[in-house]
Chain A
Amino acid sequence: MILLLDIVTTAAILFVVASGLLAIFGVLKIINFAHGAWLTLGGYCAVVTTALGLDPWTALPLAFVAGALLGAITEMVIVRPLYRRPLDAILATWGLGIIIGQLITLWFGRDVQFTPNLLSGTVDIFGASYSIYRLFTIAAALIIGCAFAFLLEGTRLGLSTRAVIMNETLARALGIDVARVRLITFMIGTGLTGLAGVLLTPLTSVDPNMGVGWLIGAFMLVMVAGSSFAALAFACLVFGGAQVLVSTFVSPILGGITVAVLCALVLRVSPKGFSRG
C-alpha cells in the first residue's frame, strides 16, 4: 500500500517538475536547459518569503511571477534568435542556467538553506502513516494538469497555441501572432517551473544546484511525452513507478537512473515516444 502511494506521489512530483518543460517543448520545440535554474529560483523564492516572515504559501505566487518575468526576458533575448538552431538553444539555455546559478550563489552564498514545511505531519491511511505533503503533491499535479487542459481546450489562447503546435506556418498565415503565443507559452512554462521549485522545497534541500539533478529526469520524460500532457502523466506513472520499484527492491542508486535509462530505450524503439502525433 505504501509502495503504491510512493509510486503515485513520485509520479506526481515528476509531473509537477516536468510540466513547465513540456509546455515549452510542446509549443516552441525548444528544450529549456535552464529548467533546473528555474526550479532553483523557485526554491529561493521560498527562502525569501521565509526571510521576510511571510506565510510560506505566498512563495507560490511569488515564484510564478518571478519565473514568468525572467522567462519573458529570456524568450526575447536568448531564445528568439535561436528558433532555427534548436541544438544551439539547448546550449544557450544551459549557459543561462549557469548564469542564474552563479547569481544566486553570489547573492545567497552556496550553503544549503532551509525552508519551513508547507504542510507537515502525517496522516493514517489503511493503518500506515504517510506524509501529508506527499499526498498534497498528487493534488498539485492534478490541479496543474487540469489547468493546462482548461487553458488549451477552453480559451482563445489555447486555440491559438494548438494551431501553432499543429502547423506553425498556417497559423501565421491565418493571422495568429506566433511570436506572442511563443512568449506567453514560455512565460507560463517558466512560471510553472518556478512554482514547481517551491513545491520541491519540503522534499529536498535548497542550494544553488538543487535544480540540476531534476533537469535530466524531466528532460527525458518530456522527450518521451512529446507535446501531450496526457502522455507526460502516463510516462510519469510508468517511469516513476519503475524508479520506486528499482529503488525499493534493487538499489537506490540504480533507482536514480531508472527514468533516464528506460526513457532512452523507449525512444530507441519508438522515436516518437508515447505521443501519437
Chain B
Amino acid sequence: MAERRSSFNIRAWLLAGLAVLALLLVLFGPMFLDRFTLNVLTRSMIYAMLAITVDLLWGFTGVLTFGQAAFFGIGAYAAAMILTHMGASPALIALAFALAIIVPMLVGLVVGWLSFSYKATPLYATVISLVLPIVTTQVVFSGGQWTGSSSGLVGYGTLPFGLVGFFRLAGICLLVLTVAAWFFVRSDAGKLLVAIRDNEARCAYLGLNPQRLKIALTTVLAGVAGLAGFLFANSSGVVAPEITGFVFGTELVIWTALGGRGTIIGPVMGTIGIDYLSANLSGELPFLWNLVIGTLFVAMIILLPNGLAALVAKFLPAKGGAGAMRLTNLAAAGAQLTAPKEEALLSVKDLGKTYGSLKVLEGLDFDIRPGELVSLVGPNGAGKTSLMRCLSDGTEISSGTVRISGQEINGRTPNEIVALGVGRKFQVASVFESLTVADCLRLSLAARHRPSLVTRESDLALPAAALDILRLTGIDRMLERPVADLSHGLKQSLELAMVVALEPRLILLDEPTAGLTKTERTTIGGILQKLTRELGIAAIVVEHDLDFVRTISSRVVVLHQGRLVLDGTVEVVANSELVKTIYSGGAHG
C-alpha cells in the first residue's frame, strides 16, 4: 500500500507542478510572447474551456455532444448584443456577464429535458445536440440588426483589459476551470458520471435518477460554455455566426478526442496545441493542415480511442488509490424491522404484460409479506424475468396493478421504485466496470447521502448486512481493486452487497447463483436466509436449481406460460404432480 501511495503522490506532484508552470506562463508569458501568439493563445485557452465541458459530457458521462458550440455562441451573442445595443457601462457589462451565463443555462435546461427522457437512446442526445447549433445559427442569421445577421456584431465596447489583460484573464479562468474539473471528476460525486457512462440502468436501480443528473450536468456546463462565450466576445471584440455552428461543435469534439477523452489535461493540451498550430500553419498550408488533422483524428478514433493522454499516461507511474479505504458500520435505518409482519409488502393484482400481441404474463395475483423468501420457478419462457421487470420498473406493466407497501407503482421509473424500498439484482452481474469496488459500494449510498463534489471520503459506511456479504466473500480486502479485475462470482457478490446496501425491504434476485461454485452458492444461500429471517426483508428469487430452492425458500411460486400455476410451501410444490409434468415438458397449452 505504501508503494502505491507514493506513486499516487508522484502523479499529484507532477500535476501540481504543471499547474504552477501554467500559472507562471499565464502571468509572465506576455513579457516574451509576441502579439500574434498572445492573440491566438487567448482564443485557444477559451476554446480549451469548452473542450473541458465537451469532455465532461462525452469522455466521462458518455454523451456525445456537438452542442457546446451553441451554448458558447449563445453566451457570446448575449454579451455582444447587450454591449452593442445598450452600451458598455460597468453595470451593463455586469448584466452582459450575468446573461451570458444565465441564458445558455436556461437553453441547456430545455435541451437537457429534451435529450434525456426515460428510455431515450444515447443517440437521441447526440441528435438533439446537432439540431441545437443548427437552430441557433439560423436564429442568428434571421436576427437582422439585432444579431448582425451573417456579418455578426463588431465594434462594441468591452472590458477594458487590452491584449495582455485578456490573455491573463483567459489563462486564469482556464486554470481555475481545469483544477475544479480535476477535483470534481476525482470526487465521490464525479464517479457518478463514469457510473452513468458504464451502466445507466444500474444507476437507476441504485435509486439514482440518471436523467436528472444528466440534465443538471448539461445545464451547468452550458453555463460554463456561456462564460467562455462572454470571455470570447470581450477579448476578440467580434462575434460571428460560425461560433454557434455545428462545424465548430465538431471541431471541439475532435480536439477533445485527440487530446484524450476521459482525462482533464488531455483535452486542454489538445485544444491549445491544435488551435495554436492551426493558426500558425493554416496560413501556409491551409488544406493540407486540415487533411493532417482529419487523418490523425480518424486514426486516433480507431486505434487509440482514449487519445494522446492515454499514450502519455503509459509512461507515468501507475495510478494509485487515495490511500486506504476504511469500512465502517452504518447505523441501520431500522425501517425494515418495524414494518408489521402481517401486512403485505408487495401486492400483485391481475398483473399482465404484453409485447404487441404476445402475452408474456397474464392475470397474476399474489402477496408477499415481510420476512418471506419466495422462490420463483418455472421453465424457460415462463415469464419469470418479465415478472421481475414489472415489479421493479412500473413502466413495464401492461395491465393490472402492483403495490409496494400500499403504493401503486404503475408507470413509475426504477429509481422511484427503489425509493419505495425495492432492490433488484440482475441475472448478469450489473456493476460499474471502470470503477473500483469501493466506488461501486459508495454509489449505492449516493441516492440517500449526497456525495461530495470536491473530495473523496476515506470512510465507507455500509449497513451491517452489506458488510457481512463483503466479509464472507472476501471482497472487503479488495476495496481499491478495479471491478473489471474481479471474477464472475465476486461480481455477483459485489452486486448483491450493493443492492443490500440500499437497505431494501423487498429484494428481487434473478438467478443469483447462476455460474457460481458450490461454496459460493452456499454462502449466498446463507446470506439470503439471514436477510429474510433476521432482518425481515422479503426476497423473491428466480432460481433453476431446485435443491437450492428447497433449502432456502419459505414459499415457492410456479409460473408456466405467463400464468401462476402453483403457490405454496416447499413441500407442496416439491410433491406436486403438475410441477413434475411442467418440468418434463408435458403440460403445454
Contact = CB atoms under 8 A, between A and B. Distances in A.
Contacts of A94: 250
B183 interface: no
Contacts of B64: 87, 90-91
A92 B298 contact: yes
B135 A92 contact: no
Contacts of B122: 87
Contacts of B291: 98-99, 102-103, 106
B288 A95 contact: no
Contacts of A85: 305
A88 B142 contact: no
14 contacts: A81-B302, A94-B250, A96-B298, A98-B293, A98-B297, A99-B298, A216-B130, A216-B246, A219-B127, A220-B131, A223-B123, A260-B134, A260-B135, A268-B120
B301 A92 contact: yes
A253 B142 contact: yes
B124 A78 contact: no
Given A212-B247, A257-B134, A98 B294 contact: yes
Interface string A206-222: 00000010001001100
Contacts of B121: 271
A212 B133 CA distance: 14
Contact of B302 (A86, A92, A220, A251): A92
Interface of B: 64, 114, 117, 119-124, 126-128, 130-131, 134-135, 138, 141-142, 246-247, 250, 253-254, 257, 287-288, 290-291, 293-295, 297-298, 301-302, 305
A260 B131 contact: yes
A100 B150 CA distance: 27
A271 B290 CA distance: 36
B310 to A, nearest CB: 14
Nearest to B250: A94
Interface in A236-277: 251, 253-254, 256-257, 260-261, 263-264, 267-268, 271
Instruction: Give the interface centre of B114, B127, B134 by most chain A CB atoms within 10 Å.
Output: B127
A231 interface: no
Interface string A104-145: 011000100000000000000000000000000000000000
Contacts of A268: 114, 117, 120, 124
A110 B134 CA distance: 23
B286 to A, nearest CB: 9
A271 B297 contact: no
Interface residues of A, number: 38
Nearest to A106: B287
A257 B138 contact: yes
A223 B246 CA distance: 18
Contacts of A271: 119-121, 124
Given A223-B127, A260-B135, A91 B295 contact: no
Contact of A78 (B117, B120, B302): B302
A229 to B, nearest CB: 20
A257 B127 contact: no
Nearest to B137: A257
B135 A257 contact: yes
> Which 8 pairs between the two chains have the least Cβ-Cβ distance?
A98-B294, A95-B298, A102-B291, A95-B297, A99-B294, A92-B301, A253-B142, A87-B64
B120 A253 contact: no
Contacts of B126: 87, 90
A88 B135 CA distance: 24
A96 B124 contact: no
A82 interface: yes
Contact of B138 (A88, A95, A254): A254
Interface in A21-61: 31
A97 B179 CA distance: 35
A142 B138 CA distance: 32
Contact of B131 (A88, A96, A99, A261): A261
A90 B297 CA distance: 12
Contacts of A216: 130-131, 134, 246
Contacts of A87: 64, 122-123, 126
Contact of A253 (B114, B141, B294): B141
A102 B290 contact: yes
A256 B305 contact: no
Contacts of B250: 94
Contacts of A95: 254, 294-295, 297-298, 301
A212 B246 CA distance: 10
Contacts of B287: 102, 105-106, 110
A96 B295 CA distance: 7
A251 B139 CA distance: 11
A95 B130 CA distance: 16
Q: Which of A91, A106, A260, A263 has the most chain B CB within a 10 Å cutoff?
A: A91
Contacts of A86: 123
A191 to B, nearest CB: 21
A160 to B, nearest CB: 25
